[in-house]
Amino acid sequence: MGLSRDGDGKQRHGGTRAALFVYAMEGLENMSFVSNAVSLVIYFFGYMNFGLTKSATTLTNFMGTSFLLTLLGGFISDTYLSRFKTCVIFGCIELLGYVLLTLQASFPSWRPAPCHGQITNQCEQAEGGQAAILYAGLYMVALGTSGVKAALPALGADQFDENDPRELPALSSFFNWFLFSLTVGAAVGVTLVVWISTNQGWDWGFGVCAVSILFAVVFLSMGRSSFRNNVPGGSALTRILQVLVASARNWRRPVPAMIDELHEVDDKEAAPNTELLQRTDQFRFLDRAAITTNPDGTPYSTTPSSWRMCTVTQVEETKILLRMVPIILSTVCMNICLAQLQTFSVQQGTTMDTRIAAHFRIPSASLPIIPLLFMMLLIPIYDRFFVPLARRLTGIPTGIRHLQRIGVGLVLSAISMAVAGFIERRRKSVAVEHGLVDSAAPLPISVFWLSFQYGIFGAADMFTLVGLLEFFYAESSAGMKSLSTAISWCSLGLGYFGSSVTVEVVNKVSGGWLAENNLNRDRLDYFYWLLAGLSAVNFGVYLVCASWYRYKKVEMKSLEKVEEKEVTGF
């Protein structure tokens, strides 16, 4: 996709100006989503009368579903709708979800009767119509945010031409500032919106989220005239399935040794600015899908359907997806660690001294502001100082390769968990020294001790999350950009679901490191160190996967010339 320009050569579509509307929507949308991610467990427990376990499970299921549904949003964006339309439609679905939650929080008859004191089996939980309203609102939000998260990063990246070397630095910078807008929105969410929900009521909190999503959709719509919009290229999943079927039909035939023996669109048939992927030497068995002759060696009398003969580009598109799978799976461990910072580390904070001034305390749900502040500080430094310096040294537009950036984040994640173990050991020693092991009183140790593990993990997230988004966007074919960026979000969903499984397994194998319901008696420090060890092993696996990965080779068919772009090296 080239930029549209007017008669004097000035750019009319795309560029940084168009990306500003994307930043605005991301900040506003993430403000609403994150504020609920850190506080909904309180709403479930105190207003829906769910037990502690059900409250936590309901939240993790909501979060995991939100990220896994990005695959659906990405598929719809690539197949049926432009990325702009996907963001607007799914943003409206998310808006309706928040409106429904606002109405439920506003009308007492839509909620169970308040249960004063500790919740017991006699308390009436939300069920029937009340539960239906709750889950309908929650999963409308989950569906809406999934489509936005899948299409919005790709929409922003589309505003820069990845085939123009002059625009590659701006494209890389877009992903850094996209994360910055995401972080700013999250910071406002875990402070201002959480404070509103806690002090003014949940109807006000959900209402603010609804208004925020409304403004997000409006701001994005204001930028419509300046966007470069993609044209849906049909179902990437269908094309991949065609490759698998065609290669299975030819499974007895030898893999052709020469590229000339494989089917590809020729220069005359290729439309201007068509992306053709060159053959790679991995998953060679799939090359059988592009064989151009009958089983007896004679040419086809007529061009067969795509279920019998595919193009090399179509085969390589399938190979790219298969090569991406080990990369995304090797980042799930990091997101399991992230889930601990949103659960156990928050619980650690509730046992510590949360005072900032004489009369002000940090709400426990606002503790994630610590890594967010670190990220807000680090992202501009990384984009404005580190990347230009690294670019001069390496000659790479992004400073370092995408896979190298992800690897740095994985290392920092392991370090964060190791540091978290030492901080927990320090916190427990204070509890023992002051005889507060079985006391609910705050320990005389500042909550800012947690800033070490939060800060290191914030840096890890800066490297890995943006690295994944940029990697999947850059490596995917033109027809599956949204689906590929959605895959990067799936790592978060798998991490949330995997966190619950990890805790259960560790409890059973260890004899109950985390089963006391009392952090002063639990062995959370051992658990953190276990995660640090697993993260170190996972990094070793990642190195193998990253070294094995082959970057795509692209041949651009344009009106004037044929351009070949190849990105190599870990």
The string of DSSP codes covering 83-151 is HHHHHHHHHHHHHHHHHHHHHHHH-GGGSPPP--SS--TTS----THHHHHHHHHHHHHHHHHHHHHHH
Please give the structure tokens belonging to residue 140.
Answer: 């409308």
Placement of tokens 């276990």 in the chain: 530
**Residue 212 vs residues 24, 90, 189, 524: alpha-carbon distances, Å:** 10, 14, 10, 37
- Confidence band for 500, pLDDT divided at 50, 70 and 90: confident
User: Would the pLDDT of 415 be above 90?
Assistant: yes
- Could you report the per-residue pLDDT of 168-177, keeping only the tens digit for each? 888 888 999 9
Query: What number is the average pLDDT over the span 423-443?
Result: 89
- Confidence band for 428, pLDDT divided at 50, 70 and 90: very high
**% pLDDT > 70, the chain:** 91
Q: Where are the domains of the chain?
A: 12-115+124-231, 236-317, 318-570
| C-alpha–C-alpha distance, residues 509 and 490, integer Å | 28
Taking CB atoms within 8 Å and a gap of at least 24, the contacts of 512-518 are 514/344, 518/437, 518/438
| C-alpha–C-alpha distance, residues 519 and 271, integer Å | 63
Question: How confident is the model at residue 121, as a pLDDT?
Answer: 52
User: Would the pLDDT of 292 be above 80?
Assistant: yes
CB-based contact 109:513 (threshold 8 Å): no
For residue 482, give the 3-state DSSP assignment.
Answer: helix
- Could you report the per-residue pLDDT of 228-261, keeping only the tens digit for each? 877 787 788 888 999 999 999 988 888 888 877 7
Q: Residue 275 is inside which H or E element, if any?
A: strand 274-277
- Cα torsion for 383, 171, 489, 316, to the nearest 10°? -140
CB-based contact 456:412 (threshold 8 Å): yes
| C-alpha–C-alpha distance, residues 94 and 31, integer Å | 13
Predicted TM-score (pTM) of the model is 0.83
CB-based contact 38:368 (threshold 8 Å): yes
| C-alpha–C-alpha distance, residues 480 and 276, integer Å | 14
Placement of tokens 């980042």 in the chain: 331
- Position 553: which residue type? K
**Among residues 397, 431, 199, 236, which one has the least CA distance to residue 314?**
236
- Position 7: which residue type? G
- Could you report the per-residue pLDDT of 313-352, keeping only the tens digit for each? 889 889 988 998 999 999 999 988 888 887 788 778 878 8
Question: DSSP character for 266?
Answer: -
| C-alpha–C-alpha distance, residues 391 and 553, integer Å | 22
Please give the structure tokens belonging to residue 514.
Answer: 């985390």
Tally of helices (H runs) and strands (E runs) in the chain:
18, 5
User: Would the pLDDT of 433 be above 50?
Assistant: yes
Q: What does CATH list as the number for 318-570?
A: 1.20.1250.20
**Among residues 164, 206, 56, which one has the least CA distance to residue 558?**
164
Chain CA centroid to CA 512, Å: 32
- Could you report the per-residue pLDDT of 506-547, keeping only the tens digit for each? 888 988 788 777 888 889 899 999 999 999 999 999 999 999
| C-alpha–C-alpha distance, residues 262 and 477, integer Å | 19
| C-alpha–C-alpha distance, residues 150 and 488, integer Å | 9
**Residue 188 vs residues 233, 369, 371, 404: alpha-carbon distances, Å:** 37, 9, 13, 31
| C-alpha–C-alpha distance, residues 104 and 111, integer Å | 7
**Residue 499 vs residues 44, 508, 527: alpha-carbon distances, Å:** 20, 14, 12
Task: Write down the H helix ranges in 291-442.
Answer: 312-329, 332-342, 344-350, 369-381, 387-394, 402-433
| C-alpha–C-alpha distance, residues 407 and 544, integer Å | 11
Chain CA centroid to CA 286, Å: 29
Chain CA centroid to CA 219, Å: 22
What mean pLDDT value characterizes the chain?
84
User: Would the pLDDT of 36 be above 60?
Assistant: yes
- Could you report the per-residue pLDDT of 48-96, keeping only the tens digit for each? 877 766 777 788 788 888 988 999 998 898 888 889 999 999 999 999 9
| C-alpha–C-alpha distance, residues 339 and 517, integer Å | 18
Placement of tokens 């799978």 in the chain: 325
Contacts of residue 439, Cβ cutoff 8 Å, sequence gap at least 6: none
**Residue 155 vs residues 150, 227, 454: alpha-carbon distances, Å:** 9, 8, 31
Question: DSSP character for 193?
Answer: I
Q: Residue 26 is inside which H or E element, if any?
A: helix 15-46
Q: Which residue has the higher pLDDT, 519 or 266?
A: 519
| C-alpha–C-alpha distance, residues 400 and 320, integer Å | 21
CATH class of residue range 12-115+124-231? mainly alpha
CB-based contact 395:478 (threshold 8 Å): no
CB-based contact 285:255 (threshold 8 Å): yes
Return the bridge partners of 293, or none. 299
Query: What number is the average pLDDT over the span 25-50?
Result: 86
Question: How confident is the model at residue 561, as a pLDDT?
Answer: 40
| C-alpha–C-alpha distance, residues 285 and 277, integer Å | 17
One fold for 12-115+124-231 and 318-570: yes
CB-based contact 484:324 (threshold 8 Å): yes
